[in-house]
Structure 1
Amino acid sequence: MLYSKTALVFCNVLPKLGLETTSGILGRALSTQSQQSIETAIPDKLYKQIQLEVRGNDPAVLKSYAHFTVSAAEKLGATIGRNFAPRKPEHKRYTLLKCVHIFKKHRVQYEIRTYYRFIDLHRLTGSTADTILEYIQRNLPEGVAMKVTKVEMLPLLESIRVPPNSASTTSTN
């Protein structure tokens, strides 16, 4: 059986607080699995960069939200890279007829402007990144969309690594 880490922690904390688990079988299974999971701990992910793209229709709201995001990331110990907005928004214009039936020369134009804001966060662990992203996404204002791109650091593959012995050996001919 597989159980989540939160369930493992929850069942370990309940007896310490003087509370009993609702299911004795579940509590025993989780207590044996919690000892095994502590021994084989999975290392935390490392992110080289997290890119936030925030878009909306009001540049003042985006600027305020970017200030909020940067201050929240600084409080949680993240390194902030670039934080900028492009000069020009993206324009979409739609031309429609005023009247459906006749008078083709009477038209109306509608325009939608989309403003962007880009924020980069550097060198984060997986738990810190999850905490920051959850906090700033829960406080996302109305009419604002966010796109998150994560660049994860992975260990070098075994097939690519150079063995330490082969670099020091030289051929003698």
Structure 2
Amino acid sequence: MSKIGTTIRRFFPSSNKINCFSTQIPDKLYKNIEIEVKCGQPAILKSYEYFVTSAAKHLGITVGSCWAPKLPVHDRMTLLRSVHIYKKHREQYEVRTYYRYFNFHKLTGSTADTFLEYVQRNLPEGVGMKVTYTELMNMPKVVEDLRLKLEENKKRGAIESS
């Protein structure tokens, strides 16, 4: 969490308050946040999708696509019914895992932290969550300098050719 504009009290006689405006940390910007949730029951995921999208709309977050694959992922295991003998007698077990994906666009760091904390605290039991961020950053100075040099060279080439 960022502490922008907060006041800290210290117990020194010379200064009672210290203002933190001089140490401001710029807020991060996220282009896209993708949330992947998985569970064994599709009804739980469907109700959780409704909860997440309504919470995002109340916070003013741009909701992108929310989708689910048509078929679940099947994990099948074949085990012996008896450990030591009777190799012919086997049991088959199957685990189905259902997935849902949510995309949210153009978020600030503080909004994303608040939203994700709220969503994760209300995660139903037995549901797994994976969050993927796409952060917007400034160009490195070296790359920016190269880009400016290329533009200058193009302008010089256009002037020389005319």
Q: TM-score, normalised by structure 2?
A: 0.83
Among residues 1, 5, 9, which one is paired with 2:6 in the alignment?
Answer: 9
Partner of 1:84: 67
For structure 1, the residue ranges without an aligned partner over 5 or more in a row are: 13-22
The structure 2 residue matched to 1:160, chosen from 129, 137, 143, is 143
> Gaps (5+ residues) in structure 2?
none
**Cα distance, 1:126–1:166 mapped onto 2, change above 3 Å:** same
For residue 145 of structure 1, the aligned residue among 128, 132, 135 is 128
Q: 2:124 is matched by which residue type in structure 1?
A: P
Change (3 A) 1:108 1:128: same
TM score, norm. by length of structure 1? 0.78
Partner AA of 2:6 in structure 1 = V
Q: CA deviation at 1:158?
A: 1.7
Paired position in structure 2 for 1:31: 17
Identity %: 48
Using a 3 Å threshold, how does the CA distance of structure 1 residues 86 and 168 change in structure 2: closer, same or farther? Answer: closer
Is the CA contact 2:7–2:17 (under 8 Å) kept in the aligned structure 1?
Answer: no
Question: Where is the strand percentage greater, Structure 1 or Structure 2?
Answer: 2
Specify the SS of the correspondent of 2:103.
Answer: strand
User: Structure 1 residues 87, 28: closer, same or farther in 2, change over 3 A?
Assistant: farther
Q: How far apart are residue 118 of structure 1 and its match?
A: 0.4
Matched to 1:58, the amino acid is Q
How many residues are matched?
A: 155
* Residue type of the alignment partner of 1:94: M
- Superposed displacement of residue 137, structure 1: 0.2
The aligned counterpart of 2:106 is: 123
